[in-house]
Structure 1
Amino acid sequence: MTGGKRQILDMNAFDPGAAAQSPPVARRLGNLGAASVLFYREPIEMVAAEGAWMQARDGRRYLDFYNNVPSVGHSHPAVVAAVTDQIARLNTNTRYVVGVVDDYLDALKARLPETLANVVMTCSGSEANDLAIRVARAVTGARGVIVTETAYHGNTDLVTAVSPSALKRGDVPDWVALVPAPDMGPGYGSGSDTGPADRFGAEVARAAADLAARGHGVAAFLADSIFSSDGVYADPPGLLAPAVAAARAAGGLFIADEVQPGFGRTGASFWGFERHGVTPDIVTMGKPMGNGFPMAAMAARPDHLAAFCRDTGYFNTFGGNPVAAAAGHAVLRVISAEGLQDNALRAGDRLKAGLARLAEAHEVIGDRRGVGLFLGVDIRGPAGPDAGATTRIINGLRDEGVLIGAAGKWGATLKIRPPLCLTADEVDLFLDALGRVLAKGV
């Protein structure tokens, strides 16, 4: 394999010292300093976006296969209209009863398990995951959290501790136990193969025993239900069930992080966890909820939330504001009215078929994983996962007018997650562009 384990923000990142900086890039670096994160060897200055396309200042259009935030399409007119109308009427904090907020919460809860009857709105997935861990600790009286070894769950102090892919140096704290991403192993994809689920469940049981031995116990097993930062692991259906059972047997809760796979992206189900036949104790969500408007949420059982609130109150000034609720409700309506969940499955199947054809012609393409419009494609060299080749493909696609990112422990997995409105023609455009990049050699 080429290179070692990669930190999540290093994947596809612009290197400020590698080339001369344009005035806009120099301005950004001067303003944000060391916290600045830009993509590509040559960062792009964007000025507009619509559907699955983004437009740069120089007029060039790019097909967006990376950005899962505007999930129903960039600048969707229904979301724009809902936000515009609401902000012209009322936008205030959450201390008032505002019908549009509860209308949205009722519509969102209709998509969730009935047991998760309380929804706390936040502004980011980081806040939602932070709150979820605190609730789990209050309910269980334990402290330990189990996550995958390349997980990313946010950037508050608490969730950075359970986001090993965010750490540039050092290790996770003692109260965090890491498990490897699900092991597809021999026989994967055979149809009756349940090996990955059982193996992953055994890893979670081992981690739970380790936390007990360290004196922390298990408060929660926290998992992104498509393991996006680990390299995208969606199969087989039911993959999560033994792991959830193992965590609960150790006294912990299951927190389903749906920030990336939720809201119809997998096509097979509205939530990633549904495909695995499990009911979470807590669900967190974010990014695609408002199609770019900052909003997120944690859904929990009323008794669990009450256990937390007995000792610690919770209030979020902007979480659940009326404009966020209007945006979120519009997203739910668009997903339903435009059949975007079904489209994700159809477009994803077309993508997978095209990737299989490319794999026959190009040895650099390894395993392809995922479901719907959330796919991972391993890039391999003679020695194994090839992060260098992955970076060259990403920048080659940029030159072809296609935006894409990377994931996985080694940064050697192409992460495919375009807007759910993706058309068949746009699928073919991507496949053609990838074919041209591969034909040039990487």
Structure 2
Amino acid sequence: MSKKNKNALGGARQILDMNAFDAGAEATERNPLLERRLANVGAATVLFYKEPLEIVSASGSWMTAADGKRYLDFYNNVPSVGHTHPRVVAAVTDQIARLNINTRYLNSVVDLYLDALKATFPAPLSNVVLSCSGSEANDLAVRIAAAASGGTGIIVSENAYHGNTSIISEISPSALKRGNLPDHVVTVPAPSHPGQSGSIENAFAADVKRAIAELERRGHKFSAFVCDSIFSSDGVYADPPGFLRKAISEVRKAGGLYIADEVQPGFARTGDAFWGFARHDVTPDIVTMGKPMGNGFPMAGLVTRPELLERFCEDTGYFSTFGGNPVAAAAGMAVLDVIADEQLQSNALRQGNHIQERLRDLATKDDRIADVRGAGLFLGIELSQPGEKDQPNAELASSVINGLKDRGVLIGAAGRFGNTLKVRPPLSLSQDEADIFVDRLADALAASA
């Protein structure tokens, strides 16, 4: 798409604005709870939808609002094994009734979980540091990379989101409302087109190589390439499997580290791999994780090679009061057990393929569906102007999102222009629920014609 066309469509959109409640808009009716929230949180208030929902309970793939209406949740990847899964609830309830303390004390629950978590990673990644949020995990990862590389230069994708600490906000272009990224951060386009090099793999590697050179030109020693392996905020770009290999080779030739941000694609969501990076047959230097790790209980962490963590700890201590507490470990262990016992990885692949098949059939009947892409139960549905696949249609995406809400389905948006519907239901999704989603999406699209 030309620069002129992009500007005509309003340019890039800040990630939290894509489906946000507008406090400045005229309300259709007075909502005392909404007014209370706005008064309490002020300018930092972030709520979904033109008319925010009051959710009071949830189970499986469904959430229930205060008025009794049920909503199929295709929005959140946090309750990945299903809202209020009874095994997670039981594990957390039992452990908090026994003990909850920090990791300065030995506790077998914590180390049982660490052993089980490590078993999902390549053998070289054998040290784990637990925290409370993905932002904290990514912050620590960047600091470890700086200690190991001796540099500060970072490469991320154009619309990446990696968190909200001071360090990580600087490498999260989609979180910026105004201004530019700092000089030590260079972006690369999402891996969506092969370009002149003939393949997505070659084109993306060439983009990363140019970014490394740009950092050097600016006088910044290259430190790390930080990558969400499914490019969630860029609009979901998963294929072809393996396309990251050449880019990671360029990273390592230049002395940089590869930090795989698995906060969104991790924990079996992509279906054909437990971790998103595994689809590309690469081993990261550091992997960060969060969101679905505790199925709603706040926990996050990173895994890395011992020598990298040791180098960092020579100069800087690290301790998190709540990171790795026994209740979090119990929740995390229950999540791993449920994924295995209920075969949720294979279910994600099966239901994701079913949804993609139905969506591609729908696209043959509606030329505003420009593309359907993704892996497992992490899909992107790109919406365009009628018959013009290269013209993003953020207005249609907003209309469909709110139309789906009216029809009892919750979904979000992604991509530089906010025109890609981001599909992330619980991994326990049934085929009946998958069909409900596609049927109601078709209805919402028809109503927006």
Q: TM-score, normalised by structure 1?
A: 0.97
> In the alignment, is residue 267 of structure 1 matched against residue 271 of structure 2?
yes
SS in 2 for 1:146: strand
* Partner residue, 1:190: none
Among 76, 81, 84, the alignment partner of 2:90 is 81
Among 281, 285, 292, the alignment partner of 1:277 is 281
State the aligned residue count.
Answer: 437
**Alpha-carbon distance in 2 for matches of 1:404, 1:182:** 24
Q: What is the RMSD of the two structures over their aligned residues, measured on CA atoms?
A: 1.2
> In the alignment, is residue 24 of structure 1 matched against residue 33 of structure 2?
yes
* 1:98-109 equivalence runs, <5 A: 98-109=107-118
Q: Cα deviations across residues 336-358 of structure 1 (Å, max 9, x unaligned)?
A: 00000000000000100110111
* C-alpha deviation, 1:185, in angstroms: 4.0
> In the alignment, is residue 212 of structure 1 matched against residue 246 of structure 2?
no
> In the alignment, is residue 177 of structure 1 matched against residue 186 of structure 2?
yes
8 Å contact kept, 1:183–1:199: no
* Partner residue, 1:414: 421
* Partner residue, 2:407: 400
* Partner residue, 1:332: 336
Task: State the one-letter code of the partner of 1:8.
Answer: I
* C-alpha deviation, 1:243, in angstroms: 1.0
Unpaired segments of 5 or more residues in structure 1? 188-192
**Alpha-carbon distance in 2 for matches of 1:85, 1:241:** 44
* C-alpha deviation, 1:364, in angstroms: 1.1
SS in 2 for 1:221: strand
Q: Cα deviations across residues 7-42 of structure 1 (Å, max 9, x unaligned)?
A: 000011111122224111111111111111111111
> In the alignment, is residue 46 of structure 1 matched against residue 55 of structure 2?
yes
Q: Cα deviations across residues 364-399 of structure 1 (Å, max 9, x unaligned)?
A: 111111010000011101561011110000000000
Q: Cα deviations across residues 35-68 of structure 1 (Å, max 9, x unaligned)?
A: 1111111110000000000000000000000110
* Partner residue, 1:369: 373
**Alpha-carbon distance in 2 for matches of 1:280, 1:50:** 35
The alignment-based identity, stated in percent, is: 63
* C-alpha deviation, 1:317, in angstroms: 0.4
* Partner residue, 2:230: 226
> In the alignment, is residue 96 of structure 1 matched against residue 100 of structure 2?
no
* 1:228-377 equivalence runs, <5 A: 228-377=232-381
8 Å contact kept, 1:346–1:372: yes
* 1:161-172 equivalence runs, <5 A: 161-172=170-181
**Alpha-carbon distance in 1 for matches of 2:415, 2:341:** 34
Task: State the one-letter code of the partner of 2:22.
Answer: D
SS in 1 for 2:359: helix
8 Å contact kept, 1:3–1:387: no
Please identify runs of 4+ aligned residues in structure 1 that moved more than 3 A. none
**Alpha-carbon distance in 1 for matches of 2:139, 2:233:** 18
* C-alpha deviation, 1:224, in angstroms: 0.3
Task: State the one-letter code of the partner of 1:354.
Answer: R
Task: State the one-letter code of the partner of 1:45.
Answer: E
SS in 2 for 1:212: helix
SS in 1 for 2:417: coil
8 Å contact kept, 1:3–1:386: no
8 Å contact kept, 2:194–2:203: no
8 Å contact kept, 1:194–1:236: no
8 Å contact kept, 2:194–2:202: no
SS in 2 for 1:198: helix
* Partner residue, 2:433: 426
**Alpha-carbon distance in 1 for matches of 2:396, 2:433:** 24
Unpaired segments of 5 or more residues in structure 2? none
* C-alpha deviation, 1:216, in angstroms: 1.1
8 Å contact kept, 2:400–2:448: no
**Alpha-carbon distance in 2 for matches of 1:201, 1:81:** 46
Task: State the one-letter code of the partner of 2:88.
Answer: V
* C-alpha deviation, 1:433, in angstroms: 0.3
**Alpha-carbon distance in 2 for matches of 1:266, 1:129:** 21
**Alpha-carbon distance in 2 for matches of 1:209, 1:3:** 30
SS in 2 for 1:127: helix
**Alpha-carbon distance in 1 for matches of 2:184, 2:119:** 35
Farther-moved stretch of structure 1 (238-247 vs 396-405):
238-247
**Alpha-carbon distance in 1 for matches of 2:56, 2:198:** 47
